Amino acid sequence: MGYFFTSESVSEGHPDKIADQISDALIDNFLAWDQDSKVAIETLVTTGQVILAGEVKSNIYLDVQKITRQVIQRIGYTKSEYMFEANSCGILSAIHEQSNEINQGVERQTKQDQGAGDQGIMFGYASNETENFMPLALDLSHRLLYELAELRRENTQITYLRPDAKAQVTLEYDENNKPLRIDTIVISTQHDDFDSDEVAMQQKIKQDLIDILIPRVQAQLKAELQPLFTDHIKYHINPTGKFVIGGPHGDTGLTGRKIIVDTYGGKGAHGGGAFSGKDPSKVDRSAAYATRHIAKNLVAAGLADEILVQISYAIGVKDPMGIYVNTYGTSKVGLSDGDIAEKIGQLFDMTPYGIETRLGLRNPIYSETAAYGHMGRTPVTVSKTFESSTGETKTVEVDLFTWEKLDYVDKVKEAFGL
């Protein structure tokens, strides 16, 4: 018997995502000037106010207010009527030095022996459902909001959009886990106030999104997925009606409150730890990237159609407590999931230092992760420029989304005889 599955995403202008982007911009700036920085920063945004809190151990002093305002401006909160505006919002910093008791569990005489920055469990997941090995419902939700933001910035075909938005996609699957059709699309987008009545306004927004946004997203998909968009999709566009008050004025935002949006949209599993605002010594972040890297390369190598990888750590201990694998009965090799896990442990160095080194995580690569998902993105090399509190500038070339590289496919095939 078939079933329905739903995933959601939120835009870069959603309050929680504003907080994530500010936290990760600060991470990048610390790492750009001091790669050994230890950082854990939480951000809260509300009406006209940003509060920064957390712990830092670094050799660089940053103008955190200036960096925060730059992020808010880039997202698009540039008008006073939003009640949260880049140049006028208040910014309170309560960032202080990291506890030596935490740091002593991480740093060692040699970097190779560094311990995990925290205890916990982390999961990586991959499926051959899409070209980027991500769950389809989440991939579509991300695409809808990314294109909606593009339309907002273009400001030509649709001229009334504001930064805050959410999307949700429900797919119908058959009994063999193959998507049959899109059943429902839900989009709530903040907008300027209309002169017309509320019913006419709602009809205008709904028609614009169906006629302009949906075809742009559909055109991005490979040919076999495009027929999922039919004339029978149920659309709920701004179902509550008027959505003028949004962003931090409409809802307080916090770092780390969209961890399912950041990962797999409810597919696979999640260990509970957030990513944004944490340097890579925090295995909540680095090990989640590493397990995604493993799962994606295993599926791309043809080992299974779908794979979940779990890893666990103890704070201050470099070697993981254990590795768990679930292939959901789709394995193509004559090994148990336990045997596959054992081979993974031999193939991938899963110590914190090994992960940081393999994936280049001590570089300023995190701002780009903080909206539209940390997983399923396209690896790319970019140049980024940073400014210190004294006005000195620095340009660095970095590799983004290294955990999405398919650089272990050949090694996996050799190890498993594929």
Domain termination residue (choose one: 245, 273, 292): 245
pLDDT for the residue numbered 101:
55
Please indicate, yes or no, if residue 216 is contained in any of the structural domains: yes
Question: Any known ligand binding at 194?
Answer: no
Please indicate, yes or no, if residue 254 is contained in any of the structural domains: no
Question: Any known ligand binding at 242?
Answer: yes
pLDDT for the residue numbered 113:
63
Please indicate, yes or no, if residue 143 is contained in any of the structural domains: yes
Question: Any known ligand binding at 257?
Answer: yes
Please indicate, yes or no, if residue 324 is contained in any of the structural domains: yes
Together in a domain, 124 and 144: no
Q: How far apart are CA 330 and CA 347, in angstroms?
A: 21
pLDDT for the residue numbered 26:
98
Buried b (16+ CB within 10 A) or exposed e, 17-42: bbbbbbbbbbbbbbbbbbeebbbbbb
Q: How far apart are CA 239 and CA 301, in angstroms?
A: 43
Please indicate, yes or no, if residue 23 is contained in any of the structural domains: no
Together in a domain, 286 and 234: no
- Assign residue 400 the CATH number of its domain: 3.30.300.10
Together in a domain, 235 and 314: no
Together in a domain, 148 and 232: yes
Domain termination residue (choose one: 245, 263, 292): 245
Together in a domain, 224 and 299: no
Question: Any known ligand binding at 282?
Answer: yes
Instruction: Name the burial class of residue 139, with classes exposed (0-12), middle (13-18) and buried (19+) by CB atoms within 10 angstroms of its CB.
Output: buried
Together in a domain, 238 and 292: no
Question: Any known ligand binding at 42?
Answer: yes
Please indicate, yes or no, if residue 141 is contained in any of the structural domains: yes
pLDDT for the residue numbered 104:
57
Together in a domain, 167 and 124: no
Tokens of 55: 């712990």
Question: Any known ligand binding at 387?
Answer: no
Give the 3-state DSSP-derived string for the chain, with helices as H, strands as E and coil as C: CCEEEEEEEECCCCHHHHHHHHHHHHHHHHHHHCCCCEEEEEEEEECCEEEEEEEEECCCCCCHHHHHHHHHHHHCCCCHHHCCCCCCCEEEEEEEECCHHHHHHHCCCCHHHCCECCCEEEEEEEECCCCCCCCHHHHHHHHHHHHHHHHHHHCCCCCCEEEEEEEEEEEEECCCCCEEEEEEEEEEEEECCCCCCHHHHHHHHHHHHHHHHHHHHHHHCCCCCHHHCCCCCEEEECCCCCCCCCHHHHCCEECCCCHHHHCCCCCCCCCCCCCCCECCCCHHHHHHHHHHHHHHHHHHCCCCCEEEEEEEECECCCCCCEEEEECCCCCCCCCCHHHHHHHHHHHCCCCHHHHHHHHCCCCCCCHHHCCCCCCCCCCEEEEEEEECCCCCEEEEEEEECHHHCCCCHHHHHHHHCC
Question: Any known ligand binding at 343?
Answer: no
Question: Any known ligand binding at 284?
Answer: no
Question: Any known ligand binding at 258?
Answer: yes
What are the 10-residue block averages of pLDDT along the chain, 418 residues in total?
96 98 98 96 98 95 96 97 97 87 59 76 97 98 98 97 98 95 98 88 96 97 94 96 95 98 97 96 96 98 98 92 96 96 96 96 98 98 95 96 98 96
pLDDT for the residue numbered 114:
76
Question: Any known ligand binding at 243?
Answer: yes
Please indicate, yes or no, if residue 85 is contained in any of the structural domains: no
Together in a domain, 297 and 224: no
pLDDT for the residue numbered 316:
86
Question: Any known ligand binding at 405?
Answer: no
Enclosing domain of residue 230: 3-8+135-245
Together in a domain, 289 and 389: yes
Question: Any known ligand binding at 16?
Answer: yes
Domain termination residue (choose one: 245, 273, 305): 245
Question: Any known ligand binding at 337?
Answer: no
Tokens of 185: 């699309």
Together in a domain, 241 and 140: yes
Together in a domain, 336 and 223: no
Q: What is the pTM of this model?
A: 0.96
β-sheet bridge partners, residue 313? 120
Please indicate, yes or no, if residue 39 is contained in any of the structural domains: no
Question: Any known ligand binding at 166?
Answer: yes
Give me the number of domains the chain comprises.
2
pLDDT digits over 121-178, tens only?
999 999 999 999 999 999 999 999 999 999 999 999 999 999 999 999 999 999 999 9
pLDDT for the residue numbered 128:
96
Together in a domain, 292 and 241: no
- CB–CB of 344/164 below 8 Å? no
Question: Any known ligand binding at 278?
Answer: yes
